[in-house]
Structure 1
Amino acid sequence: MMEAHVDQAANATVENPIFIDAPIILTAIVLCLLILITIVGNLFVIAAILLERNLQSVANYLIVSLAVADLMVACLVMPLGAVYEINSGWSLGPELCDMWTSSDVLCCTASILHLVAIAVDRYWAVTNINYIQARNPRRIGILIIAVWVISLGISLAPQLGWKDPDYLDRIAQGTCLVSQDTAYQIFATCATFYLPLLVILFLYWRIFQAARKRIRKRPGTIQPPRERRGILRLVTRRPREESTAFTITRSTPDHSSISPEKSSSYNGANITPSTTVTPTAVSTTTTTTTLTNPTSTSQQQQVVKCTKRTRETIESKRERKAAKTLAIITGAFVACWLPFFLVALLQATCQTCEPPKLVASVFLWLGYFNSTLNPVIYTVFSPEFRQAFKRMLCGGTRGLR
């Protein structure tokens, strides 16, 4: 009787192969959705910058180039990677394997190095006021060209002879990997991830320090007395949007009308890393006091104390917001790519330390997922990008060419 049940189960499995293919079908659906979301997200970023006049700034050239690199990951790398995963092996030949691995290294390295270039641009903008005036298409273009040239050099090195002896044997056995030569792997992993990671962490730490220092230097302002009524007038200004070195405020198409002391470009939109306090303008939610009666000194002191407490609260909120933004930017990058590059370096230095195929696949696609997150991370803090996306989805035309 038991044997009959076993035979019936075996026959049911043969007659219904969908039970065998269910994990493969689920994997295919998930990977296809990931590829589609990555393509759509990066296309939206490119279209928003090309169509919206107020997003067409020099600093946004870096965002466009980053989106192009991530779009190439989604179009050239991820589809063949999905085929590789679904087939559980490589059956497309050594030539296509060479093309796929070279494209993989080129596009992923370019995506990572663009994050470094954006961090460098932000650091210069926040720590050097004169950089805002010096920023021009030529300077940003040099950064972009340097990113792509370095990425191309790293990706083409195996094709120029820097391969391990077992390269073709692995492909014949159904495994397509970039050159596993120890020296190349150490060079590639350090140049592609570990060195950029150190640079990004250092630059964003310096940016945060500069932002916190400038936030704490914003004093309240008391206007000079007016010769009108002999009473105390409290003029409470409308709160402005909180701004730090990382939060984005509204930019204008005419960048020449913005003084560099009050604005610097951040991801193509204008930010205010430091606010210049003038006799007629004060920082966020500052209460402005106008005195004409000498007997109102106690009331003036009370207003100043209230203003000081309000300013301290705003400073702490700005610092928390800056730290949160930095944590998102660096945390997403590290979480996506660190596992893959740890395994890559471990495999290159320890021949017997090969991880399970499932783990290696998850780490690889986690790195690809960074190209899906980049359009969100580098635009979500900009109200202008959000409005541009909303107009594109709803069919609006305001602000277009």
Structure 2
Amino acid sequence: MESSLSNTCYYDHNVTFFYNWVGKKISVAWTTRDFVVIGLGLTVCFIVVLANLMVMVAIFMNRRFHFPIYYLLGNMAAADLFAGVAYVNLMLNTGPWTSMLTKNQWYIRGALIDISLTASVANLLAVAVERHQTILTMQLHSKMSKRRVVLLIVCIWAVGIIMGVVPSMVWNCECHLEDCSTVAPLYSRRFLIFWAVLNLLTFFIMVAMYIRIFIYVRYQSQYTSQHNSEMQHSQTIINLMKTIFMVLGAFVICWTPGLVTLLLDGLLGKESHANDYEKFCLVIAECNSLVNPIIYSLRDKEMRQTFKRILCCLFRRVDDQQRQPSPIEIDSPTPKEPLGCVQKSEHEALCFSQETNHKGDSWTTPGL
């Protein structure tokens, strides 16, 4: 029986067939719980997309963030934004809608999640390598050219896309039903083992690298001169490292339960009972995409101020578009106000042109 199954391919069967094979139930009707989960999930995804988009805009607008480490952090925000879009697609193709998906649509749904996770892990590894090479020379920023940074970012997304399309093209169980996963019924359990082990191993490597960096920085800081400039430079490096370590720690905490679940599913199959807690792990993983913007805003004073300027100018522009000038205002003899935001209050004073504050200034260390 097993020999005949292993030699037979089921390309013409639909998604429901594979779900029934592994014993994973597809909801027939919508329940109140489903509507609550989808409603909260879409709300969180909307906040995730806006928050990470703001991080990307802040890095683009503020010249003090135009360095390799911040470009990589911006790419991390892009991966989180992509994860938010992937979760939206998952929410809109779950529950009773699952049975209406074609196999290609189902593979795309899973590939989006795989791409976002792989891009995030690869980006964190690139940040770890960049910090390792830079901090060991007690420098704040790498001398890597922008062209190399762009090439590195392209490679990160290329790896993510490859890992996302591998299950649909090569590593699935359509010809090996005994190898089907219970969490992702069309995926091969061997692929889940490979993917989970690879990501967990990458986590351990990054944590080891950051621990070595912290030990080195602490050791060097004990022998630095007591000059204020050198002490401030060393403290800035430590603060930046703490921010990055918090990002890595949040990522490991949020994604490890899901990866362990996939690993158990790959090793034990139905005996792992992975379907009982997979949704809980997915919620934790989704929260990670919202954590990073919060860390940036709490740890980086310059980033926080840039956020305020963006929001101030955005709301000011919307308010100006909604207000229609009256004839009295048009004929008013008062002198014209300068373009931009008028500094009538402390809040509005934040919405000034970045060029006014930074024109002619050399780069200074942002508050971390």
> Do these two structures clear the TM 0.5 threshold for a shared fold by scoring above it?
yes
1:54 aligned onto 2:61: no
Which of the numbers 171, 175, 180 marks the counterpart of 2:187? 180
- 8 Å contact from structure 2 (residues 134, 140) kept in 1: yes
1:397 aligned onto 2:315: no
- Number of the residue aligned with 1:119: 128
Distance 1:327 1:132 in 2: 16
- 8 Å contact from structure 2 (residues 265, 274) kept in 1: no
1:215 aligned onto 2:221: yes
CA deviation string 1:114-154 (max 9, x = no partner): 11111221121111357956321133233323322222221
CA shift, 1:57, in A, is 2.5
Distance 1:67 1:132, change over 3 A: closer
- Number of the residue aligned with 1:313: none
Distance 2:145 2:66 in 1: 12
Distance 1:190 1:378, change over 3 A: farther
Distance 1:178 1:129 in 2: 49
- Number of the residue aligned with 2:302: 384
1:138 is paired with a residue of what secondary structure? helix
CA shift, 1:29, in A, is 2.5
- 8 Å contact from structure 2 (residues 58, 306) kept in 1: yes
1:397 is paired with a residue of what secondary structure? coil
CA shift, 1:31, in A, is 0.6
- 8 Å contact from structure 1 (residues 347, 354) kept in 2: yes
- Number of the residue aligned with 1:93: 102
CA shift, 1:85, in A, is 4.6
Distance 2:104 2:37 in 1: 26
- Number of the residue aligned with 1:154: 163
- Number of the residue aligned with 1:357: 275
CA shift, 1:198, in A, is 1.5
Q: State how 1:2-401 maps to structure 2 within 5 Å.
A: 21-75=31-85, 77-87=86-96, 89-129=98-138, 132=141, 134-165=143-174, 177=184, 179-191=186-198, 193-220=199-226, 243-248=235-240, 322=242, 325=243, 328-355=246-273, 357-378=275-296, 380-395=298-313, 396-399=351-354
Distance 1:87 1:167 in 2: 26
Which of structures 1 and 2 has the bigger CA Rg?
1
Distance 2:176 2:67 in 1: 45
Unaligned runs of at least 5 residues, structure 1: 1-19, 222-235, 249-265, 267-321
- Number of the residue aligned with 1:280: none
- 8 Å contact from structure 2 (residues 140, 237) kept in 1: no
Whichever structure has more helix as a proportion of its residues is 2
CA shift, 1:343, in A, is 0.8
Distance 1:130 1:45, change over 3 A: closer
CA shift, 1:167, in A, is 8.5
CA deviation string 1:28-70 (max 9, x = no partner): 2211221011101111011112222222233322122222221
**Which has the bigger relative contact order, CA under 8 A and spacing at least 6?**
1
Unaligned runs of at least 5 residues, structure 2: 1-29, 314-350, 357-368
Distance 1:113 1:58 in 2: 15
One-letter identity of the residue aligned with 2:260: L
1:247 is paired with a residue of what secondary structure? helix
Distance 2:216 2:307 in 1: 31
- Number of the residue aligned with 2:345: none
- Number of the residue aligned with 1:307: none
1:177 is paired with a residue of what secondary structure? coil
Equivalent pairs, count: 288
Normalising by structure 1, we get a TM-score of 0.63
- 8 Å contact from structure 1 (residues 84, 90) kept in 2: no
Moved more, 92-101 or 38-47: 92-101
Distance 2:142 2:248 in 1: 28
Distance 2:290 2:192 in 1: 25
- 8 Å contact from structure 2 (residues 119, 156) kept in 1: yes
CA deviation string 1:230-252 (max 9, x = no partner): xxxxxx99x9699243315xxxx
Distance 1:49 1:130, change over 3 A: closer
1:212 is paired with a residue of what secondary structure? helix
